Amino acid sequence: MNYEFNWFYVQKSLPDLFDGLLVTLQLTLWANAIGLVFGFLVALGMMSKIKLITWPLTIYIEFFRCTPALIQLVWFFFCVPIIFNVWWSGYFMGILALGLNLAAFNAEAYRAAIQAIPHSHSDASVALGLNAFQRIIHVILPQALILALPVLITNGIGIFQQSALVALISVEDLMYQGRYISTQTFRPIETLTTVALIYFAVSFPVSQAVSYIERRTKRLLAN
Amino acid sequence: MAFVEINGLVKRYGALSIFEGFDLKMEATDRLVLIGPSGCGKSTLLRCMMGLEDIAGGQISLGGKEYIEGAEAGKMRIDAKIQKDVGMVFQHYTLFPHLSVLGNLCLAPTRSRGMKKAIARDKAMELLQRFGLADRADFYPSQLSGGQKQRVAIARALMLDPKLMLFDEVTSALDPELVNEVENTMQDLANAGMPMMIVTHDMHFARNIATKVVFQERGKVIEAAAPDELFGNPQQERTRDFLRNVLHING
């Protein structure tokens, strides 16, 4: 390899990279907000006995789980405006597509968690005079969150990485900035390596935290 | 009218029939213990009284007021206001693991009865004190022994001032050395005058705590009497068979 490293340009464009990181983190947080809340509602809906509720939800979940995130993103960006005659920014479409993708995966995590909650808790809730809403909010949701937490975090950090796809629809995230700088400066190795390291620096501690959290929750919920 | 009245209770699980017209009465001064072979519907009876089971027919009343009326599937009528006067403790631990002991005790009063947090807290501490569990208030259920869990579950039910307590085999899942503390707690409650219905396999305890013992088999009351009579001089052949079996008496 006959390549002379030159970190000057990367150093100079670090502020731009961090601007990109900020956009990436915003996308991640919004997508996770959708994924955590909507995912739980979908999981609850999936427990319904009414087919009119479970069927559309099943189609939604399987569609998002069985197609590439990239096509979902691009489809939202190019097709939604035509079908619904609206124009939303790539940033917003990115959040929507990533959020719905995450919600589909999280719904499965919640569903497994809810099914792991002993049915006797439901009986105890009735005996304590809690109505269905109070039971869901104070008994089911907190336990489902705790049980599903390791998977939810893993999914959430997955979306942090997947969010790099939004660069393709011109959202100025970390990936977008990295590619832009690398072509502008002809320094792909320095720039793209730096970008990769930034993604790694955020993801790695979180994925390490998951196993710790897993141990803690196991202990808390042991009966 | 008796304090608790069950009239013509019908309960079926699909084709399996548990009760076809079951009647039972209990006075407010009674502590009624249900005994009988497993699968005879003792637990189901308590679950019906708590409103946890869909019943196909019959009425259940408490304090002279009917609160559950059976009907065809899904049409059972239930008066939630009176249902709230019934408290229940289960065989399996049902403490909510994500809440501390105090949190478990205060959840229902504050969320479903509109009790102020500080008042619920004081009341909870008072109960825990009485049960000798005050130092466990901030513990989580996973940090408690089985016996402590069941006593907390009893305290949790008492937070709502029930007029009738149902105990469904609350010591069956416990290690033998932990049974006593739970039974003692129940005995204290009995001494304080709480009306109870108890399902248990512990005949010694049944004899001590009961004012009336009901021997039940295949969804029917075979014999009901004061404990000394039922255990000392059972009238029915089937009662004698059952007691001989569980007490391991020969002859």
Residues of A in contact with B160 (CB under 8 A): 128-129
Alpha helices of chain A — where are they, by DSSP H?
Answer: 8-12, 14-46, 51-65, 69-84, 90-116, 119-127, 132-135, 141-162, 174-185, 188-221
Residues of A in contact with B86 (CB under 8 A): 127
What tens-digit pLDDT sequence spans chain B (251 residues)?
Answer: 899 999 999 999 988 899 999 999 999 999 999 999 987 889 999 999 999 999 999 999 999 999 999 988 778 899 999 999 999 999 988 999 999 999 999 999 999 889 999 999 999 999 999 999 999 999 999 999 999 999 999 999 999 999 999 999 999 989 989 999 999 999 999 999 999 999 999 999 999 999 999 999 988 999 999 999 999 999 999 999 999 888 876 54
Cβ-nearest to B87 among A127, A130, A139: A127
- The pLDDT score that the predictor gives to residue A223 is 61
Cβ-nearest to B94 among A121, A134, A222: A121
Alpha carbon of A219 to those of A31, A223, B107, B142, B151: distances in Å?
A: 30, 9, 22, 7, 21
Angle, vertex CA B221, rays to CA B61 and CA B13, nearest 5 = 75
Per DSSP, the residues of chain B read --SEEEEEEEEEETTEEEEEEEEEEE-TT-EEEEE-STTSSHHHHHHHHHT-S--SEEEEEETTEEEEE--STT--EE-HHHHTTEEEE-SS----TTS-HHHHHHHHHHHHS---HHHHHHHHHHHHHHTT-GGGTT--GGGS-HHHHHHHHHHHHHTT--SEEEEESTTTTS-HHHHHHHHHHHHHHHHTT--EEEE-S-HHHHHHH-SEEEEEETTEEEEEE-HHHHHHS--SHHHHHHHHHHHT---
ipTM for the predicted complex: 0.89
- The pLDDT score that the predictor gives to residue B164 is 97
- The pLDDT score that the predictor gives to residue A9 is 84
Residues of B in contact with A140 (CB under 8 A): none
Query: What are A89's two structure tokens?
Result: 């920014």
Cβ-nearest to B93 among A128, A219, A223: A223
- The pLDDT score that the predictor gives to residue B84 is 93
How far apart CA B100 and CA B102 sit, in angstroms, is: 5
Residues of A in contact with B143 (CB under 8 A): none
Q: Which domains does chain A have, with CATH numbers?
A: 8-221 (1.10.3720.10)
Match 């002809």 to its residue by tokens.
A186
- The pLDDT score that the predictor gives to residue B72 is 81
Residues of A in contact with B97 (CB under 8 A): 143, 220-223
Match 């990109």 to its residue by tokens.
A20
Are A35 and A102 in contact by the 8 Å Cβ rule? The answer is yes
Name the residue of chain A whose CA is nearest to B108's CA.
A128
Cβ pair A221:B94 closer than 8 A: no
Q: Which domains does chain B have, with CATH numbers?
A: 4-95+144-247 (3.40.50.300)
Q: How many CB atoms lie within 10 A of CB B139?
A: 15
How far apart CA B76 and CA B51 sit, in angstroms, is: 9
Cβ-nearest to A134 among B51, B80, B111: B111
The amino acid occupying position B93 is Y
Q: Kindly state the DSSP code that residue A4 receives in the 8-state scheme.
A: -
Residues of chain A with pLDDT under 50: none
Q: Which residues make beta-bridge pairs with B32?
A: B197, B212
Q: How close B52 comes to chain A (CA, Å)?
A: 7
Torsion angle of C-alpha atoms A173, A177, A183, A185, degrees rounded to 10:
-170
Residue pLDDT, tens place only, A84-114: 998 889 999 999 999 999 999 999 999 999 9
Residues of A in contact with B197 (CB under 8 A): none
Q: Which of A128, A135, A139, A223 to mutate to test the interface with B (most CBs of B within 10 A)?
A: A128
Cβ pair A118:B142 closer than 8 A: no
Q: Which residues make beta-bridge pairs with B165?
A: B87, B196
A46: Cβ–Cβ under 8 A, 6 or more apart, which residues?
A54, A57, A58, A61, A107, A111
- The pLDDT score that the predictor gives to residue B153 is 97
Chain B residues touching chain A at CB-CB below 8 Å: 47, 50-52, 80, 83-84, 86-88, 90, 92-94, 96-98, 107-108, 111-113, 140-142, 153, 156-157, 160
The amino acid occupying position B90 is F
Q: Is B114 left (phi over 0), alpha (psi -120 to 50) or beta?
A: left
Cβ pair B142:A127 closer than 8 A: no
A142: Cβ–Cβ under 8 A, 6 or more apart, which residues?
B98
A52: Cβ–Cβ under 8 A, 6 or more apart, which residues?
none
Residues of B in contact with A138 (CB under 8 A): 107, 111
Cβ-nearest to A120 among B94, B108, B112: B94
- Tell me which residue of A7, A5, A9 sits closest to A183, measured CA to CA: A9
Cβ pair A123:B80 closer than 8 A: no
Cβ-nearest to B142 among A123, A128, A222: A222
- The pLDDT score that the predictor gives to residue B38 is 84
- The pLDDT score that the predictor gives to residue B230 is 94
Residues of B in contact with A222 (CB under 8 A): 97, 142
Length of chain B equals 251
Chain A residues touching chain B at CB-CB below 8 Å: 118, 120-121, 123-124, 126-131, 134, 138-139, 142-143, 146, 219-223
